Amino acid sequence: MKSRFPKIFAISFGLLFTVVYLAGIFTSAQFVWTDRLFQMRPASVKPADPRLVLLAVDDETGKKYGFPLPRAVYAQALDKLKALGVKTVAFDVLFFETRPGDAELAAATRRFGRVVHLFSQQVDSFEKMGVQVKNQLPVPVLQKATKYFGHPDVSHLMNSDGHLRTFQLVHAGAADPFHSNLGGVTLVAAALSAFQDRPVEDVLAQYGTDESALNFRLPRTWLRHEKRDEGLKKNDKNLKNLDELDSPYRHISMLDLLSGQLSADEKKALHGGLVMIGSTALGYYDHYPTPFSESAPGAEFHLNTLDNLLNGDPMTFAPLWQTVLAILAAVALTYVLLYFSPAVGAGLAAAALAGWFAAALWLFRRGMIVEFVPPAVALLTSYLVLTVHRVLTEGAEKKAIKGLFGQFVSPEVVEQLAADPSKVKLGGEKRDMTVFFLDIAHFTNISEKMDPEALIQFLNKYLSRLSHVIHEHHGTIDKYIGDCIMAFWNAPLVNKDHRLDAVLAALECQQAIAELNKSLEPGMPEIPAVRIGINSGFVTVGLTGSEKKLQYTVIGDDVNLASRLEGANKFFGSKIIISESAHEGCKDRVASRTLGRVRVVGKDTPIRIYEPIAEKGKLSAEWSKALPVYEEGIAAFDAAKYEAALAAFQKFAELLPEDGPGQLYLARCQEYAVLPPDATWEGVFNLTAK
């Protein structure tokens, strides 16, 4: 019986794996995979928006002006940016404590107009009252100087590995004194409001407040401080000593801005753009890893978010149900692959995995993040388990098949069955088959003259040779019953020529007996003949017996008829008798003669029987002369022309004087020529013995 383990495993594993997936076990692996997909993107994808620039408070700026940078310096920067045509400035810098220069910064903010400042929170703990959240606001003069305020905190979006991969325009957990009805409006939302010159409510209505996936832009190499040294040319050997920066967005040093060292390209980039002012000096900025960098300034995260929204291409996540469906489909596929050969199954599994990868990559490049890892792991794990189970069970199955059929069919057939156990249908089934019975004539007399040990050796020798003939002609040996062999054709392997193969095996068995009799050891008796009965028809084939002992066998009326035909050889003096059904399948290849119509024991309906003589083209000279004479006699006998039949069989007896059926018909013709049977005779021989 087929193991139920694959089906039970596929169902239970699919459900269990889904639960494991929903528990978040694969989250970290999926993070790594998604980062890898960003790294694999071709350089031809959409570049970073050139309107977005980071004005960097870098190490060089700090060396000149000191840290923290004086607020008057920021005021100067605002005026410089306004003069260059910058449209919006967003500060990623906190101005919460009162310091010199606040008034100058506020004045510059008012002059510029579209300037975004930050507010934040401070969490205080109290022993009895628990947690209290306090707003941290810009200094009062800045609050009055602009209408754009945003929350910079993104800690609630941070993944377990410290990466930021999503964004949200409203921080639901932030108390917002500037937008009381909207929650904590983020720095990005406020910057969009300023850049597009419309209320923040409209911005949120357009872009939504749900968490979205960040579409990371590919970095490019920027040359910093390119114009700082007068007369520096790109082919100058000192150019290689200048600092280079890999970033999606242009970094412009605040020192270059304040000192008037901007290149024409940098001035062009600033005109009409949105500038984020933030620190990039080592130790003076918040930083996060990205798919392209272990440490990127937090200001770049805000710029990337702005880029996605301005260009309408943030990433989307595939729905959860689709991932669950993909997991279940992957497990189901591994179960279906069991119906293919191991080589084909492995190829299809590899193709499915490659197809899933291609689909995930294709969707990713069109803006959708598909969770590739869980379905892929589900497919590989399930396929591995079911393949190991298949190897183990098929090994046991092959061993069982070899043990079951090894003694009944040829080694070649055993190997075919072991290679493809699906060819074996062990349950009972009705099938058109040919059944063969062989019995050694006069074996009782032979056995009485031999001691037991010699008898067994003698019997084994003959049965081994005859069994070999049956196997060579694709037969299956059902059982040995003393000196009798029972065999059948067309099971367990399908054999369309089972009638012909059985008859050819019978003819060769007769030749094998003659050869064995010529090579007997001294003292060993000859076997005078073997009697064979063959019948074809629909019988039931399958395993019968007890739980501990099973036999692959055939049962049915047509099996019994084959046994009766073997016994009918005694009456006719023939060696092989086949039924008309068996004769139909071999008459084009085998020369046969009719023995007449008989009614065997246990059957009311008479049947016509035949004796195969030899393959066509291989008749001996004697039979080539005698067979036409025999057929002439049979035709006259069937026509009740007994004198003509007598003459024919007398002539046949001269050619083959020891032929059993010839002698039978000669005796009947002699009798019927003198005293014909009455009119009630049907021309049927009624056999009274099995």
Instruction: Tell whether the model's pLDDT for residue 410 goes beyond 60.
Output: no
Please indicate, yes or no, if residue 337 is contained in any of the structural domains. Answer: yes
Instruction: Tell whether the model's pLDDT for residue 127 goes beyond 70.
Output: no
**pLDDT computed for residue 281 by the predictor:** 84
Q: Which of 397, 425, 459 is the last residue of a domain?
A: 397
**pLDDT computed for residue 649 by the predictor:** 96
Helix (H) or strand (E) holding 212: strand 212-213
φ and ψ at 495, to 5 degrees? -140, 105
Please give the full DSSP string across 587-618, using - where no structure is assigned.
TTTEEEEEEEEEE-TT-SS-EEEEEEEEETT-
Q: How confident is the model at residue 428 (pLDDT cuts 50, 70, 90)?
A: confident
Q: Give dist(CA 65, CA 259) in Å, integer.
A: 12
Please indicate, yes or no, if residue 409 is contained in any of the structural domains. Answer: no
φ and ψ at 98, to 5 degrees? -70, 130
290 and 157 within one domain: yes
Give residue 157's domain range. Answer: 52-311
Mean pLDDT of 468-493: 91
472 and 452 within one domain: yes
179 and 129 within one domain: yes
φ and ψ at 51, to 5 degrees? -75, -15
Helix axes 373-405, 320-336, angle to 10 degrees: 20
Instruction: Tell whether the model's pLDDT for residue 240 goes beyond 70.
Output: no
Yes or no: say if 576 and 439 are a contact pair by the CB < 8 Å rule.
no
**What is the pTM assigned to this prediction?**
0.61
Torsion over CA: 428, 431, 433, 435 (sign): positive
Instruction: Tell whether the model's pLDDT for residue 253 goes beyond 90.
Output: yes
> At a CB cut-off of 8 Å and minimum separation 6, what does 252 contact?
53, 54, 55, 56, 262, 266, 269, 270
DSSP tag of 463: H
Q: Find the range with the poorest average confidence among 280-289, 334-343, 451-460, 512-521.
A: 280-289
Mean pLDDT of 569-588: 96
Copy the structure tokens of residue 74.
């920021």
CA 124 to chain centre: 57
Yes or no: say if 146 and 109 are a contact pair by the CB < 8 Å rule.
yes
**pLDDT computed for residue 128 by the predictor:** 43
375 and 491 within one domain: no
Q: How confident is the model at residue 522 (pLDDT cuts 50, 70, 90)?
A: confident
Mean pLDDT of 519-540: 87
**pLDDT computed for residue 520 by the predictor:** 76
**pLDDT computed for residue 104 by the predictor:** 96
Q: Give dist(CA 183, CA 171) in Å, integer.
A: 7
Mean pLDDT of 112-125: 79
Instruction: Tell whether the model's pLDDT for residue 325 goes beyond 80.
Output: yes
**pLDDT computed for residue 551 by the predictor:** 76
**pLDDT computed for residue 231 by the predictor:** 42
Mean pLDDT of 126-139: 61
Torsion over CA: 642, 645, 650, 653 (sign): negative
**pLDDT computed for residue 418 by the predictor:** 55
**pLDDT computed for residue 517 by the predictor:** 87
Yes or no: say if 614 and 590 are a contact pair by the CB < 8 Å rule.
yes
pLDDT digits 0-9 by tens, 211-232:
999 999 988 887 765 544 444 4
> At a CB cut-off of 8 Å and minimum separation 6, what does 533 contact?
436, 437, 562, 563, 564, 565, 566, 567, 568, 569, 576, 577, 578
615 and 626 within one domain: no
Q: List, in sequence order, every beta strand (DSSP E) within 469-549.
A: 476-481, 484-489, 530-545
Copy the structure tokens of residue 622.
């004697």
Please indicate, yes or no, if residue 46 is contained in any of the structural domains. Answer: no
**pLDDT computed for residue 122 by the predictor:** 53
Q: Give dist(CA 330, CA 60) in Å, integer.
A: 56
* 168-199 per-residue burial string, b: 16 or more CB within 10 A, e: under 16: bbbbeebebebbeebbbbbbbbbbbbbbbeee
Please indicate, yes or no, if residue 316 is contained in any of the structural domains. Answer: no
Please indicate, yes or no, if residue 393 is contained in any of the structural domains. Answer: yes
Please indicate, yes or no, if residue 386 is contained in any of the structural domains. Answer: yes
Highest mean pLDDT pick, 164-178, 520-534, 663-677: 663-677
Instruction: Tell whether the model's pLDDT for residue 233 goes beyond 50.
Output: no
Please indicate, yes or no, if residue 378 is contained in any of the structural domains. Answer: yes
Torsion over CA: 455, 458, 463, 466 (sign): negative
475 and 383 within one domain: no
305 and 171 within one domain: yes
Q: How confident is the model at residue 1 (pLDDT cuts 50, 70, 90)?
A: very low
Yes or no: say if 374 and 26 are a contact pair by the CB < 8 Å rule.
yes
Q: Give dist(CA 234, CA 279) in Å, integer.
A: 28
Amino acid at 235: N
Q: How confident is the model at residue 136 (pLDDT cuts 50, 70, 90)?
A: confident
Copy the structure tokens of residue 369.
């993040």
Could you tell me if residue 523 is left (phi over 0), alpha (psi between -120 and 50 degrees) or otherwise beta? Answer: left
Q: Give dist(CA 120, CA 171) in Å, integer.
A: 11
For tokens 């050891």, the residue is 521
Copy the structure tokens of residue 47.
């570049």
Q: Which of 570, 597, 619 is the last residue of a domain?
A: 619
**pLDDT computed for residue 126 by the predictor:** 44
> At a CB cut-off of 8 Å and minimum separation 6, what does 148 contact?
114, 115, 116, 117, 190, 191, 193, 194
User: How many domains does the chain contain in total?
Assistant: 4
659 and 529 within one domain: no
370 and 279 within one domain: no
Q: What is the mean pLDDT of the chain?
A: 87
Q: Which of 619, 645, 679 is the last residue of a domain?
A: 619
666 and 587 within one domain: no
pLDDT digits 0-9 by tens, 615-641:
999 999 999 999 999 999 999 999 999
Beta bridge partners of 247: 220
How many C-beta neighbours within 10 Å does residue 491 have?
A: 23
Q: How confident is the model at residue 655 (pLDDT cuts 50, 70, 90)?
A: very high
DSSP tag of 164: B
Instruction: Tell whether the model's pLDDT for residue 144 goes beyond 90.
Output: yes
Mean pLDDT of 645-661: 96
CATH number at residue 543: 3.30.70.1230
**pLDDT computed for residue 558 by the predictor:** 95
Q: Give dist(CA 612, CA 349) in Å, integer.
A: 54
544 and 663 within one domain: no
Please indicate, yes or no, if residue 553 is contained in any of the structural domains. Answer: yes
For tokens 């590995």, the residue is 161
pLDDT digits 0-9 by tens, 365-404:
899 999 999 999 999 999 999 988 887 876 656 666 655 5
Q: How confident is the model at residue 412 (pLDDT cuts 50, 70, 90)?
A: low
Please give the full DSSP string across 223-245, using - where no structure is assigned.
ETTTTSSTT--TT-GGGGGS-EE
Alpha helices in 113-207 (DSSP H): 140-145, 187-196, 200-207
**pLDDT computed for residue 421 by the predictor:** 58
Q: Find the range with the poorest average confidence among 177-181, 402-406, 497-501, 667-671.
A: 402-406
287 and 161 within one domain: yes
